[in-house]
Chains A and B, each alone.
Chain A
Amino acid sequence: MFIVENDPIEMRKVYSTFMNEFIAKDDKIIGLEADLMSSMSMDSVHENHPNRVINCGIMEANIIGLAAGLSIAGKIPFFHTFTAFASRRCFDQLFMSIDYQKNNVKVIASDAGITAGHNGGTHMSFEDMGIVRGLAHATVLEVTDATMFRAILEQLVELKGFYWVRTMRKNAVKIYQSDEHFSIGKAKILREGKDITLIANGIMVAEAMVAADRLAAQGIDASVIDMFTLKPIDRGTIVKYAKLTGKIVTCENHNIHNGLGSAVAEVLVEEYPVPMRFIGVKDRYGQVGTLDFLKQEYQLTADDIINAVKSFF
């Protein structure tokens, strides 16, 4: 039985704690901020390491170029801003300054989808994962909880290239134990069931787990997969579970176009077509609201997943 319980540590605290420790350990790491330092709890890191956390001001396009230059000269830049500004605002810079020339830059994109809450529709991005996965060299991740976020950040210090990490800022629902291992590009199987497979990422992993419990009570045995790496996507796992369960529902806090659902469908159409349903934002823009309200409004709840599953039976 999955118990919905928030991690005590906020995702932004995971980031700032990691940066504080690793900046002290590795003189190549530089934190870049676009006047959202306090939003990401990076102000204390800046106080501890004033030369290593640079609040560049509100100039995302320039920051992407700066990060590229830092990489060319041997540094490891981590750049944080909100998903909207880190993607649609500076896409050509992500392309030319980073991805095209294979620079070593990590972009931490916070306030994923509806978790932008009271910043509302202007700040809410349902398209960023689709934008970034169009870049040929990019690795695109959405972290699920605090344990995974920390583990992934540690790996990124050693991994070279353009990594995009989408996250929420506040407390995520706890999914993993502290000793869990994460391998980028390899999905996490959270629950094995034979009737249907739920493939989720980000905040939708917890919704999928709740849905799976309720479905079990109704006699439907669901697998739940955390597809935290959107690109390169774990083709083997998708095909394996398509064969095992014959039906798939994808669940994402993003437009259903060009995000997780599309990526899974691309694999299945080519390798093992099975019927699918897509839980996600259906060509709408965001609005202000609490997380619970927005989940209802955009049909991103466990109930919505259950309804999609039941349409198969």
Chain B
Amino acid sequence: MSEIIAKIDELARQIRIATLKQLNHLGFGHYGGSMSVVETLAVLYGGVMKYNSHDPQWVERDYFVMSKGHAGPALYSTLALKGFFPKEDLMTLNQNGTKLPSHPDRLRTKGVDATTGSLGQGISIASGIALAHKLSNRDNRVFCVVGDGELNEGQCWEAFQFIAHHNLNNLVVFVDYNKKQLDGTLDEIIMPFNLNDKFKAFGFDAITVKGDDTKAIYNAVKTVRKHDERPLVVVLDSIKGQGVAYLENMQSNHHLRLTPEAKIELEKAITLLEGK
């Protein structure tokens, strides 16, 4: 067990470094929301999901949907590190003609299962994939990350009703509860109240774990749900900009255009992470 977690932690460190390098190379991008899902991606791609990077369409694979599409760069780092495409490609993020656009695009990037970016839609797509597997009596699992700001979108709650009603317990929903959306904190814009209670009322099993606690995330989702268990929501109590002190302390870190000072700070953060 500790061996697996150590492997996952190492993957998380690499995803974080690769994502920072990717965004620094470009000079701007979605730092905050990419950082807050790094550990979750590391758990999924480092210890939970079935996939084959040489055969991204393998029918027995588990599916992943990044409904909060602005975390695309973190997903790309994960996929590159896991061999879906060469790591050098990460430096093409958002360049003209790239295979790695700001928000994930299933037709452009190997390993991306659903195109997302217009918020609220990824969770519905994930439910459709989960439903298809249920209807075909297949064991494939589906994992979906939604943002806490994304929960402003009514479509999410349509999807949650559907998931619970049809008991799509082959789908695990992560809510990246980093408490900030683009224009400010959730409390200022749309207060989420108690997410755990909300999801339980919607017919889910819900747990909250620290967004960087890989062991807790792993334990929450490693086991396949039993036939009669309710679908699971994991609320990730995370920090926007997680794992990089400079970003964590920044007031507005959703999208960052690098100043010379920020560049120096983030290069330092990379060096620090590389030394670990």
Chain B: residues with Cβ within 8 Å of the partner, total of 35
In this assembly, does A101 line the interface, its C-beta being within 8 Å of a C-beta of chain B?
yes
Residue pair B158, A69 in contact (C-beta under 8 Å): no
Please choose the segment from A51-59, A259-267, A271-279 that sits at the chain B interface, where 4 or more of its residues have CB less than 8 A away: A51-59
A131 to chain B, nearest CB (A): 16
A70 to B115, CA, bound (A): 14
In this assembly, does B23 line the interface, its C-beta being within 8 Å of a C-beta of chain A?
no
A23 to B100, CA, bound (A): 38
Q: Please, could you name 7 A-B residue pairs with CB atoms under 8 Å apart, sorted by A?
A: A59-B155, A59-B161, A61-B121, A63-B124, A68-B124, A69-B127, A92-B118
Neighbouring B residues of A68 by C-beta, 8 Å: 114, 121, 124-125, 128
- B153 and chain A: residue at smallest CB distance: A61
Q: Which 7 A-B pairs have the closest CB atoms?
A: A69-B128, A65-B124, A73-B132, A62-B158, A59-B158, A66-B128, A101-B115
Q: What is the 8 Å Cβ interface bit string for chain A, positions 100-139, against chain B (1 contact, 0 not)?
A: 1110000000000000000000000000000000000000
Residue pair B114, A72 in contact (C-beta under 8 Å): yes
Q: What is the 8 Å Cβ interface bit string for chain B, positions 164-186, against chain A (1 contact, 0 not)?
A: 01100000000000000000000
Residue pair B162, A73 in contact (C-beta under 8 Å): no
In this assembly, does A74 line the interface, its C-beta being within 8 Å of a C-beta of chain B?
yes
Contact of A66 among B63, B105, B136, B162 (CB under 8 A): B162
Chain A, interface size category, equals 20 to 34
In this assembly, does B6 line the interface, its C-beta being within 8 Å of a C-beta of chain A?
no
Dominant secondary structure at the B interface: helix
Contact of B125 among A27, A52, A74, A97 (CB under 8 A): A97
A61 to chain B, nearest CB (A): 5
Residue pair A62, B115 in contact (C-beta under 8 Å): no
Residue pair A65, B115 in contact (C-beta under 8 Å): no
A292 to chain B, nearest CB (A): 38
In this assembly, does A30 line the interface, its C-beta being within 8 Å of a C-beta of chain B?
yes
In this assembly, does A93 line the interface, its C-beta being within 8 Å of a C-beta of chain B?
yes
Neighbouring A residues of B158 by C-beta, 8 Å: 59, 61-62
Residue pair B131, A70 in contact (C-beta under 8 Å): yes
Residue pair B128, A101 in contact (C-beta under 8 Å): no
A88 to chain B, nearest CB (A): 15
Neighbouring A residues of B1 by C-beta, 8 Å: none
Neighbouring B residues of A102 by C-beta, 8 Å: 107
Q: Give the one of A62, A67, A71 with max B CB within 10 A.
A: A62
